[in-house]
Structure 1
């Protein structure tokens, strides 16, 4: 063993330690994808708070709380898909738990939940607002389409939908990379 300023073993130049300094690929992949998945979950939280701001008028109405400033915004009534999409935020706790404990089955449940409660409502919304959005983009007119604060309502939702789909796609990609890395490691922590 070579040490600084000390004797060097016969037959070596002191660089034979380099092979012991490498980290196995599955551990590097796991660490990188854990970090990236946490960022995706953070952006999911940001999207949730944007959705919560939109739903706040309806929630306050259901609680019989009157705030003039919110009522003056005349926020359109929410559709069922908006509340169902909000359930997808609860899945982030499942994903974070799987990341912390390297649990394959928990991560698979997170992925399934994101598909059901994240993607399905967004796809419904994309179909629901497609006609108004296409009409606005092709003609530029806002006659006979829903408008909020002077902006086409469907186009505003498409901006949200595109951001949310990107966050969910990246989340699924990083989660699947984690599942592959954890299985390559030969972990027994399936449950």
Structure 2
């Protein structure tokens, strides 16, 4: 880049940048982890929509409304209790999304609590609930239901694996954001 005042002074090779201003670490980490958390929340919403479609026949038959006959043609097994509980974790996603524009730590902490209570705990319950069916499928090739032609236990375990990763990454990124949003502590003399 050409300089208005001529060439660079002799004896400097451009490596004297250490004294110049730079972006503070908390702003770099905040920007990076915000984009990561947004990606995580987007994937969470997408699999949440898939789960809503999956439990829709159970919801409509419980409420007694809607085109129940059309939904029954999908021939899906009845929803498990942990699936209903996991759907509530989408409320936490909204809190996490709303916390990012203004760096609101309180909303992000509520997202983390909701993610643990309505996300991680139902996923763990689902893993425990499905473990006997998975054992029977792996050893005897016996399964009770099918989802889209595949054994339901395999589809559930694939979902539970993805949900575990989504909740783990979401909690990690949220913890990093809270750490970077915390005000700097001043040294006292």
- Regarding TM over 0.5, the answer is yes
Classify the TM-score, shorter chain. 0.7 to 0.9
Summarize deviations over 1:162-181 as a string: whole Å, max 9, x none: 00110000000000111111
Report what 1:113 is aligned to: 114
Q: Are the counterparts in 2 of residues 26 and 185 from structure 1 also a CA contact under 8 Å?
A: no
Report what 1:35 is aligned to: 35
Q: How many residues align?
A: 181
Query: How far apart are the structure 1 equivalents of 2:171 and 2:50?
Result: 21
Q: Does 1:174 align with 2:173?
A: yes
Report what 2:146 is aligned to: 148
Alignment of 1:17-166 (within 5 A): 19-61=19-61, 62-66=63-67, 68-139=69-140, 141-142=141-142, 145-149=143-147, 150-166=149-165
The alignment's TM-score, normalised by the length of structure 1, stands at 0.83
- Structure number with greater CO (CA < 8 Å, separation at least 6) is 1
Query: How far apart are the structure 2 equivalents of 1:136 and 1:100?
Result: 46
Query: How far apart are the structure 1 equivalents of 2:44 and 2:19?
Result: 40
Query: How far apart are the structure 2 equivalents of 1:9 and 1:163?
Result: 55
Q: Are the counterparts in 2 of residues 94 and 107 from structure 1 also a CA contact under 8 Å?
A: yes
- The alpha carbon displacement at 1:184 in A equals 5.3
Report what 1:189 is aligned to: none
User: What is the SS of the residue equivalent to 2:182?
Assistant: helix
Summarize deviations over 1:135-175 as a string: whole Å, max 9, x none: 21133x22xx3121543222211110000110000000000
Q: Are the counterparts in 1 of residues 76 and 145 from structure 2 also a CA contact under 8 Å?
A: no
The alignment's TM-score, normalised by the length of structure 2, stands at 0.84
Summarize deviations over 1:65-119 as a string: whole Å, max 9, x none: 2254422122222122211111110111211122111122221221111000001
Q: Are the counterparts in 2 of residues 95 and 110 from structure 1 also a CA contact under 8 Å?
A: yes
User: What is the SS of the residue equivalent to 2:111?
Assistant: helix
**Structure 1: tracts of 5 or more residues without a match:** 187-191
- The alpha carbon displacement at 1:30 in A equals 0.8
Query: How far apart are the structure 2 equivalents of 1:47 and 1:19?
Result: 48
